[in-house]
Chain A
């Protein structure tokens, strides 16, 4: 039953994303992107509807099933009959991709899938944060019936009752509709987010930079041991990384195919869903708006800046309305944000905190992705060997991603400096996951900017060589 429910949720997401980028009904990279992004968007829509129904009508199975079904019944026909885009998003032309790269990509995908499944089998309830925060809240929402607001009780502040509800809500929704608690629901949700992030990255890079780059990005994200592990641990950082990536990827597509404001609206929706996933997602929304404004202002003719930003805002409104409703009506104050101003000032002037945070971030940078060697150092070597080649048409995209990720990291840094009392503990327990939140987006911008490697000798060289020999 859980499988059927989540398949319908996925279908709803596919329909929603297809409205933004409709393509003919056949296998294509564009439809691959719709499938990947649809998983996260569907989960976001279904979780939002679940919470709104719960808040307005209480734990009523019939109302919930009717509302979710109505959303599906409206979206699917709309998506079915929508006119395909005049320009299909196809794989970008580039040098030939050798067979061994395809084989390595398939091997990475297989290893990541098996790793996820084995990790899930070992810990079907997930790891520490899953059962102390996300699945705990889902249990409150599902088990407490009319007393579901106990989920936000300030009596258990360590469970962060102010955290947004996207992940607990989708799990509780599955349990409610299936009329029973299983570990399958959070497990499949975690699987969908982890591999939807990989799929969205691969498809976007494929459209923007070609097959070779997309396989390389895919190998790297699927080979990120900690990304797959944290995904299977059912932490909300991977869903957040999906929404961050999806927002930025869709904006990059808009820059390549300007004039279609549906991309901006979709980016707004996914950014809003990031805010509905974790508090860091709210920081991302601010970072994205600032980054987009700056990038459009600096690298476009500025004529369409207002229109594009307004479209982004239009997409942001529905999910942010749910977040605001939750925060104003149900969530207790955030523990970090409740720090008194005098203490914040003392934290700011404490030089030791700056060192602790900087040291923590530098160490985490060397560990990001959980590779056998520090991947950032190897990526620096990769850059030296392959070099960057930024096309003028990609400048606004690259600026948007770099600024959004950069501003988000600056914001995270500021939160570490200003708020927690035990900054060393806070850094040690969260900084690697904060970097994972932006890891797929960082890979997106790296492979957008990196030169496409020449792995197969160009055929025309052989032809020229043959011609020279025949002349001799």
Chain B
């Protein structure tokens, strides 16, 4: 019976300890607050979203380095925020969403990508037209 008691109590302690440890982590994260993620993106794009027409397809560019994980995650968040528009991760579309982290995007970079500003929506969000299309 002692073997059984040890097995059961140890199993329960491991399970409860693991659950409680995670709860502490979660409470810590909750108390720190969320400064990145979907709600932040919804705010960034709140002026742009109502202007989207049905069946729209946009290109996408950002000032994040393309090999940086934040480039991909911000692109996915942009698609999630702007759905049901389709956002493609390149600048080959006629209209391109610029997701920059400064109010004044790099003009030289825009020229290099053949992008002409159409409308600015604040928070570094800008809609551009591809000059060669």
Contacts and interface: CB of A to CB of B under 8 A. Distances in A.
Main secondary structure of the interface of A (DSSP, over half): helix
Contacts of A145: 54
B76 A371 contact: no
Interface string A391-431: 00000000000000000000000000000000000000000
Interface in A302-337: none
A445 B14 CA distance: 20
B27 interface: yes
B14 A156 contact: no
Given A147-B54, A386-B3, A373 B14 contact: yes
Given A372-B14, A378-B14, A225 B7 contact: no
Contact of B14 (A101, A125, A371): A371
A32 interface: no
A326 B89 CA distance: 27
A353 interface: no
B31 to A, nearest CB: 10
B76 A131 contact: yes
B29 A122 contact: yes
B118 interface: no
The SS class assigned to the B binding surface is helix
B93 to A, nearest CB: 10
B15 A371 contact: yes
24 contacts: A101-B8, A107-B16, A114-B23, A115-B19, A125-B37, A125-B80, A150-B86, A151-B84, A155-B86, A216-B8, A225-B18, A225-B19, A228-B19, A370-B18, A371-B15, A372-B18, A372-B21, A373-B14, A382-B7, A382-B11, A385-B7, A386-B3, A455-B5, A455-B8
B79 interface: yes
Interface residues of B, number: 42
A227 to B, nearest CB: 10
Nearest to A104: B12
A139 B83 contact: yes
B4 interface: yes
B4 A385 contact: yes
B116 interface: no
A143 B85 CA distance: 10
A: contact size bracket: 35 or more
Contacts of B37: 123, 125
A358 interface: no
A210 interface: no
B16 A381 contact: no
Contacts of B6: 385
Given A219-B11, A370-B18, A140 B83 contact: yes
A375 B14 contact: yes
B85 to A, nearest CB: 9
A104 B27 CA distance: 21
A454 interface: yes
A220 interface: yes
Nearest to B12: A104
Question: Which of B11, B15, B22 has the most chain A CB within a 10 Å cutoff?
Answer: B15
B133 interface: no
Contacts of A375: 14
B87 interface: yes
A301 B50 CA distance: 66
A206 interface: no
Contacts of B84: 139-140, 143-144, 147, 150-151
A165 to B, nearest CB: 15
A225 B8 contact: no
A15 B105 CA distance: 58
Contacts of B77: 131
B113 to A, nearest CB: 20
Contacts of B80: 125, 131-132, 135-136, 139
A112 B15 CA distance: 10
B123 interface: no
B131 interface: no
A375 B84 CA distance: 43
A240 to B, nearest CB: 22
A136 B1 contact: no
B36 to A, nearest CB: 11
Nearest to A153: B86
